[in-house]
Structure 1
Amino acid sequence: MTILQKRRAALGSLFFLAGICFASWASRIPDVQVKFGLSESQLGTLLLGLPIGSLVALPLAGWAVHKYGSRIVILLGAIGYMIFLPLIGFSSSIWLLVPVVMLFGMIGNLMNISLNTQALAVEDMYGRSILGSFHGLWSLAGFSGAGIGAVMIYLDVLPRYHYLVISGIALLIVIVAQGYLVKENKSQAGGGFVMKKPDALLLRIGGIAFLGMLSEGCMFDWSGVYFKKVVEIQPGLVALGYVSFMGAMASGRFVSDRLTNRFGRLSILRLSGILIFMGLLVSVIFPTPIYATIGFLLVGFGVASIIPVSYSVAGRSKLYSPGIALAIVSTISFFGFLTGPPLIGYIADLLSLQASFVLIAVAGLGITLLASIRLDVFKNID
């Protein structure tokens, strides 16, 4: 392997680390609920700590990456994961658990911004798009973490020991990978916390990422409900929609780089929006197991490239350093991930679940539109 290939492999392993830590926590949430005797509403309040922590960390992450470089922030974030993941398992009271979960959410976004900033540096060395493959590894880690969690639950292993095992794996990854991370030259553009107005490029790509994350968040939270209540599939196959969406999204990320390099970033964003629109339209018009599954596969492929391509475009801002630019776009898109799922619920109550899925289809068209008008904003990004 060349040194560049080793850098790519090392960074990919750290994307995998971030994904498996998050998925390991998620896989044991039911155990946390039982341990503390939480009702559904109390659990929902606890889980709100994660996005609150993530949101608080967004401007901090941009500033830290700009000031200290992505390598330092990645290593500090990885150490934070190794500490706070087991702390979730060892928390003896809900008063200790809540701040730990919030800090865990903060670490997640520190890792998100720093890993993607590092990925942009490696991508520039390659001279072609490779960001999608890193996001594919994160998705693959999600499947792996869920699988390990299922095994741990089957073996009746307490969450604290499960998390210690994951922290041990994370430590090995950091030891091997840290020597290959890029010590990038920090840009002098736009330091400080993210409080200033984004430029036209970041507003546009932030809007695209917002609609992409809105679609992704809705599919995460509502796929199973849609298959249960609209498709009316047999109980044992309720997860089929979620699995088909997730599988298509993960596999799509591994091929998105090749397609992006061949057809260009804007073409891929336009195609992504059309796939989301077509997939959801098929699922709404023909709510049968076969057609709905095909529709959810199309949506998964559509969602796959949006965030990697959006981050790749944002990192080429002429006015902001990559860390700051990524934090701005992440902040905008994050609100899509937060607001989308409850919005679907409100519309479903007022009209129907199918009507709410039409909204996500329209979001797909919005992505295509934003990638097709006033193209001077995207000058020199392809």
Structure 2
Amino acid sequence: MSSTIKGRNFAVSGMFFMLGLCFGSLSSRMATIKGELSLSDGVFGSVLFAMSAGVVLSLPVSGWVIAKLGSKLVGVAAITLNAILLLLLPFASSVYQLAILLFMSGFSYSAVNVSNNTQASLSEAISGKTELPFFHGIWGLAGFVGAGLGALMVGQGISLSVHFGVITAVTLVSALTCWQFLHDRPGLEQSGRAFAIPDRSLFNYGLIVFCSMACEGIMYDWSVVYFQDVVSPDRKFVGVGFMVFMGAMTAGRLLLNRFVDRFGIKRTLQWSGMLTSIGMLVTIMHPSLVSSIIGFCLVGLGICTVIPLVAGAAAKSSSMAPSSAIASVLTIGFLGTLVGPPLIGFLSEAVGLRYAFIVCLVLAIGIIYRAGEIPEQSWGRK
């Protein structure tokens, strides 16, 4: 029995790893794709919005389909499609073809994401322990591997088609292997309604994820610019803040499962908001190299647990099927990634980038406040 559980957890980890590997590989070659089609910054930004639109529009659809067909089937089919789309991207010969492929890539990404979180919630239900942060840590680790391989491919002058061909082959073989071991529990996955308006509890979870993902989006898009323009270190240290932030997020997700089991998810989320707040205050009040590195590390450690913990809580909803509940929460959350980064740009024009980052402080306080609205008894673990 124990070996069976380990095999299923290994397969779930494999699905998270493949999703992160494809994501990191694509992100690492965006500049190459832009250059090969000779796209301006404005046009390329519009093309990237097509990918974001695919991610957001897919979420409610994915939740409904998974509730009907199961996360095992949808997850493996979607990661297969995502890998094939990666293989096709180097052959896009126009901005329209690229936009369509990226939209479909975002759409399939969300389907895998919801499927993976549903699978991980099944692992939690069986073990009675917190598992989701660890699985999300595997995604982050895979993203590092994908980005590192991408940098190596760029340095060696390896073409997009060869690079993405290797990643696609690895993903397809891995998906076939994982298929044999993934959870297949239709009775648990199809309980509750496949589609419904989120109740008050789910909406509150969604607001928590909105604050978290808006902050994450700001860090992804603006942290390097913040270091360059505000911290102003030696050129070789410009990217170190983002690396520390990502490293802290990954390490936190891999290591904090037992903390959550001991102190409960509600208290963990409140501490997450506090760490993020402190990290932002440190770097805003004293934006030197050392203090900003410490601040970005605290932000990464603070924000890392929010999405996996809330996804796990949503999967326990009594009003919706697990996949649909996860999708509804993530739909609200992903709106934060669309709002946060542009807001920083507007505020930076008015008050400067340093003080525009106060938005992250406000979002962190929002996490603390909304976590306080969660009933204690629904989150505590014994």
TM-score scaled by length of structure 1: 0.96
Q: Distance in 2 between matches of 1:45 and 1:367?
A: 30
Q: Secondary structure at the match of 2:357?
A: helix
Aligned to 1:126: 127
Where does residue 189 of structure 1 map in the other structure?
Answer: 192
AA at the equivalent of 1:19? G
1:43 corresponds to 2:41:
no
Query: What is the rounded CA distance, in whole Å, between the counterparts of 2:83 and 2:249 in structure 1?
Result: 27
2:11 and 2:92 map into 1 onto residues whose CA distance is 32
Deviation digits for residues 211-238 of structure 1 (CA, Å, limit 9, x no counterpart): 0111111111111111111111111110
Give distance in 1, aligned partners of 2:216 and 2:329.
16
Q: Partners of 2:241 and 2:71 in 1: how far apart? A: 36
How far is 1:365 from its partner? 1.2
Asked if 1:89 corresponds to 2:87, the answer is no
Match of 2:170 in 1: 169
**1:311 and 1:274 mapped to 2: Cα distance?**
20
Q: Do 1:189 and 1:320's aligned partners in 2 also have CA atoms closer than 8 Å?
A: yes
The answer to whether the aligner puts 1:381 opposite 2:382 as a matched pair is no
Structure 2 Cα separation of the partners of residues 162 and 10 of structure 1: 24
In the alignment, the residues of structure 2 paired with residue 89 and residue 34 of structure 1 have an alpha-carbon distance, to the nearest angstrom, of: 12
Mapping of residues 188-207 of structure 1, within 5 Å: 188-192=191-195, 196-207=196-207
Kindly indicate whether the alpha-carbon contact (under 8 Å) linking 2:51 and 2:99 is maintained by their aligned counterparts in 1. no
Counterparts of 1:1-382 in structure 2, within 5 Å, are 2-184=3-185, 185=187, 186-192=189-195, 196-373=196-373, 375-376=374-375, 379-382=377-380
- Contact kept? 1:284, 1:358, Cα under 8 Å: yes
Alpha-carbon shift at residue 379 of structure 1 (Å): 4.2
- Cα distance in 2 for residues equivalent to 1:240 and 1:10: 33
Counterpart amino acid of residue 323 in structure 2: G
Q: Is the 8 A contact 1:316 1:381 kept in 2?
A: no
User: In the alignment, is the contact (CA less than 8 A) between 2:280 and 2:299 conserved in 1?
Assistant: yes
Q: Which amino acid aligns with 2:330?
A: S
Contact map agreement 2:137 2:250 (CA 8 A) in 1? yes
For 2:57 and 2:366, how far apart are their aligned partners in 1?
28
Task: Output the aligned Cα RMSD.
Answer: 1.2
Separation in structure 2 between the aligned mates of residue 310 and residue 354 of structure 1, nearest angstrom: 30
Quick check: 1:280–1:360 contact (8 Å CA) kept in 2? Answer: yes
- How many angstroms apart in 2 are the aligned matches of 1:17 and 1:212? 24
Superposition deviation, residue 175 in structure 1: 2.2
Rounded to whole Å, the distance in 1 between the matches of 2:345 and 2:278 is: 22
Quote the offset at 1:337 in angstroms: 1.2
Secondary structure, counterpart of 1:174 in structure 2: helix
Structure 2 counterpart of 1:233, which letter?
Answer: P
- Paired amino acid for 2:24: A
How many residues are aligned here? 377
Aligned to 1:316, the other structure's residue is in SS state: coil
Distance in structure 2 (CA, Å) of the matches to 1:227 and 1:98? 31
- Contact 2:191–2:322 (CA<8 Å) still a contact in 1? no
Contact 1:86 1:163 in 2 (8 A): yes
How high is the TM-score relative to the length of structure 2? 0.96
The residue identity in structure 2 corresponding to 1:191 is A
Give, as a single letter, the amino acid of the residue that structure 2 aligns with 1:235. R
**CA distance in 1: counterparts of 2:238 and 2:82, whole angstroms:** 32
1:121 Cα offset (Å): 0.6
- Find the aligned partners of 1:149 and 1:362 in 2 and give their Cα distance: 35
| CA-to-aligned-CA distance 1:60-113 (integer Å, 9 cap, x gap) | 101111000100101111210221111111222322221111100100000010
Listed one character per residue, the Cα deviations across residues 257-309 of structure 1 (whole Å, up to 9, x for unaligned) are: 11111110001100000001000000011110000100000000001100011
Deviations 1:121-160 (CA, angstroms, capped at 9, x unpaired): 1111111101011100000011000111011112211111
User: CA contact under 8 A between 2:20 and 2:139: conserved in structure 1?
Assistant: yes
1:256/1:304 contact within 8 Å kept: no
Task: Give 3-state SS (helix, strand or coil) of 1:71's partner.
Answer: helix
Q: Which runs of 5+ in 1 are unaligned?
A: none
